[in-house]
Chain A
């Protein structure tokens, strides 16, 4: 028999995400996947799941979820005051829920995106080798009220190992985001470069899984379009009107504006935990060989 959860209310934007849909970029298929991969992987690690298993990504406000069957769960990422049956629970700690327990969320304390992991993962539809919701590929692009989502069967009584994970506050409050030079970086003048690495940047109201637009008005540059070419999550494009747009996990596979900077994967995760009006600076990295950096982060 299937084990399920029932969505009683949906939150601003709730979706199922794994580590993304790789191998289909030549067909125009975006990578998608968890906006903050660090927190998504952490949820699976705490549950002793494979890190590639799908988790639920919750944005700014949380859903209300009825568990129709028991499972083990954990919440990582943004702290939205999670509760089980109205009793507050801790972040990054495993809890066992039983039939008819209700998970809900309250005030947003820190960050922007929470991740709900369950033992064995969510068993929603797998399309083109990924569970990540994306319009036109999966049959739905977000979780809505009334949805019944299948989860892996769980045998009660598994030992709850107590975790000592403490996520660094810098993950949520990073003042500097690491970038490398983008392919069109050389089109920038000295003045532009000074602006980029001295100013504070502020996140605008248009920010979602597709991209984050920044509020700053960048000094205009000549030669403002490129022949359409590849963009990847973290690519920072400069539009003709002087806006910077940071591509995020659902971004199109190509774009037509100069790609002046590129966020590192760690910086994408940190940006995914920021919201409108949050400020940061860019920090230029000189090396492109970041072999194993994401992995190392889990060791420190």
Chain B
């Protein structure tokens, strides 16, 4: 697993920031996931949380039990150690999305700028298989990699003041879903009726880094029906095991 040259930096006095090469790619995602798993096994005693992003892992440690320099030494040793056979049980989540013009606020703009029909945009977006790189920004905001190159589209210069809960969006080469209404600069293609974050569940978010996501197109009627089921707690999200 020690195939990358990693950088170790302090983040304040409470965490070690481990950095991979500056690139967003599935191979790095996999390497980070394995490292996370090994850290949990070997350093669980004084590591409080280890939090992944695209090309970094932030290891928060218990400052009453250890210090920065010792954590770095241990991390380097673990990264260089031989791999154990890992059993990964990641999932492919099937996320229903309604691309109706009622929700797909930026479909027209993208269609015009990219010279693609709306149907083509929807097909490209829903045929891709996305990697969940990490969850950040807002509780339950999945950062997804794997957007088809043809759909890459820059973030808006002027962010919208309000993006709705469940809005399915793209920015640059990234895809994501807004877990709750918030201001935001991503381009909106549709809306998903499911709940991405629930503080009353454990864990509060169904997906974890390393999982995959597929968007399933649904019509307005189905959107309304699923929304109702979600609100009454009757909906169960479809997934399958991969890897």
Contacts and interface: CB of A to CB of B under 8 A. Distances in A.
| Bound pair (A, B) | yes
Interface of A: 22-30, 127-128, 135-138, 180-183, 227-230, 232, 234-235, 252-254, 259, 262-265, 288-293
Nearest to B24: A227
Contact of A136 (B9, B22, B180, B203): B180
B17 A27 contact: no
Interface stretch (B56-64, B73-81, B83-91, B223-231): B56-64
Contacts of A291: 13, 63-64, 67
B154 interface: no
A124 to B, nearest CB: 14
A223 to B, nearest CB: 10
A254 B134 contact: yes
Interface in B30-49: 48-49
B215 interface: no
Contacts of B209: 26
B134 to A, nearest CB: 7
Contacts of A25: 49, 51, 58, 60
B14 interface: yes
B138 interface: yes
Interface stretch (B101-109, B116-124, B139-147, B234-242): B139-147
A136 B197 contact: yes
Contact of A137 (B13, B58, B139): B139
Given A26-B135, A27-B139, A227 B12 contact: no
A26 B139 contact: no
A207 to B, nearest CB: 17
A137 B180 CA distance: 11
B115 to A, nearest CB: 28
Contacts of B49: 22-23, 25-26
Contacts of B139: 24, 27-30, 136-137
B13 A288 contact: yes
Given A23-B49, A28-B140, A28-B197, 7 more contacts: A22-B49, A28-B139, A137-B139, A227-B24, A228-B137, A265-B13, A291-B13
B54 A229 contact: yes
A229 B60 CA distance: 14
Contacts of B140: 27-28
B183 to A, nearest CB: 12
Which among A138, A228, A265 has the highest number of chain B CB atoms within 10 Å?
Answer: A228
B12 A262 contact: yes
B153 interface: no
Contacts of B23: 227
Nearest to B155: A256
B205 interface: yes
A119 to B, nearest CB: 27
Contacts of B205: 27-28
Given A27-B139, A289-B69, A290-B13, A230 B204 contact: no
A254 B12 contact: no
B136 A253 contact: yes
Contacts of B159: none
- Closest 3 pairs between A and B when the two form their complex, measured CB to CB: A254-B136, A230-B58, A290-B13
B53 interface: yes
A128 B63 CA distance: 22
Which among B17, B48, B134 has the highest number of chain A CB atoms within 10 Å?
Answer: B134
Contacts of B53: 227-230, 254
Contacts of A137: 139, 199
Nearest to B138: A28
B204 A27 contact: yes
Interface string B182-225: 00000000000000010110011100110000000000000000
B15 A227 contact: no
Given A227-B53, A230-B58, A28 B137 contact: yes
Contacts of A289: 13, 67-69
A136 B199 CA distance: 8
Which among B14, B55, B69 has the highest number of chain A CB atoms within 10 Å?
Answer: B14
A228 B23 CA distance: 11
A227 B54 contact: yes
Contacts of A23: 48-49
A253 B9 CA distance: 17
B128 interface: no
B197 A264 contact: no
A206 B39 CA distance: 39
B136 A24 contact: no
A229 B208 contact: no
A228 B143 contact: yes
A234 B17 CA distance: 15
A227 B11 contact: no
B136 A227 contact: no
29 contacts: A24-B204, A26-B49, A26-B134, A28-B136, A136-B138, A136-B139, A136-B179, A137-B139, A137-B199, A183-B17, A227-B23, A227-B54, A227-B55, A228-B53, A228-B137, A228-B143, A229-B19, A230-B17, A230-B51, A230-B56, A230-B58, A232-B12, A232-B15, A253-B137, A254-B53, A259-B11, A265-B13, A289-B68, A291-B63
